Structure 1
Amino acid sequence: MDSKQREKYWKENLKYLGILLAIWFLVSFGFGILLVDQLNAFKLGGVKLGFWFAQQGSIYVFVILIFVYVRLMNKLDKKYKLDA
C-alpha cells in the first residue's frame, strides 16, 4: 500500500473513532450528567432513565460501540485490501 492509500485509510479510521467517541461522550456525559434531570422523567424497568444511563447505560453503549468499531474496521480493511 502506498503512502496516499495509508493516509486515506488512517483518515477514515480517525473519522470512525471520532464519531464513535462522540456518541459515547453524548451518552455517558450528556445523558448521564447533563440531561439526567430531564431523562429521570422516564423510567426503564422501574429505574429512572437518567440514573440508568449514569450507572449502566454508558457501559452498555461503550461495549456496543466496540463491536461497531470492529465491524467498521473489518469493512475498512477489506476496502483497502488489508484483510488477511
Structure 2
Amino acid sequence: MDRDKSQAYWRANTALIRNLLIVWALVSLIFSILLVEPLNAIQLGRVPLGFWMAQQGSILTFVVLIFIYAVQMDRLDRKYGIRK
C-alpha cells in the first residue's frame, strides 16, 4: 500500500474510533451520570430511564458499538485493500 493510501486508511480508522468513542461517552457519561435525574422522570416499564441507562443501556450501547466497529472496519479494509 502506498503512503497516501496508508495515511487515508489510518485517518478513516481514527475518525471511526473517535466517533464511536463520542457516542460511548455521551451514553455512559452524559445519559447515565449527568442526566440521570431528569431521565428518571421517564419510566421504561416500571423502571426509571436514568437507572436503566446506568445499569443496562450503556452496556448494550457498548456491545452495539463493538459490532458497528467490526462491520465498519471490514468495509474500510476492503475499500483500502487490506488483506486479513
Query: Does TM, scored on the shorter chain, surpass 0.5?
Result: yes
Q: Aligned equivalents of 1:30 and 1:50: distance in 2?
A: 10
| Cα deviation, residue 45, structure 1 | 2.4
Letter in 1 for 2:56: Q
The two structures have a TM-score, normalised by structure 1, of 0.95
Aligned to 2:72: 72
What per-residue deviation string (whole Å, max 9, x for no partner) do you get for residues 38-81 of structure 1?
Answer: 11111112110001111111010000000000010011011101
8 A Cα contact 1:74 1:83, kept in partner: no
What per-residue deviation string (whole Å, max 9, x for no partner) do you get for residues 8-65 of structure 1?
Answer: 1000000000000000000000000111011111111211000111111101000000
Q: CA RMSD of the aligned region, Å?
A: 0.9
For structure 2, which runs of at least 5 residues remain unmatched after alignment? none
The structure 1 segments of at least 4 consecutive aligned residues displaced by more than 6 Å after TM superposition are none
For structure 1, which runs of at least 5 residues remain unmatched after alignment? none
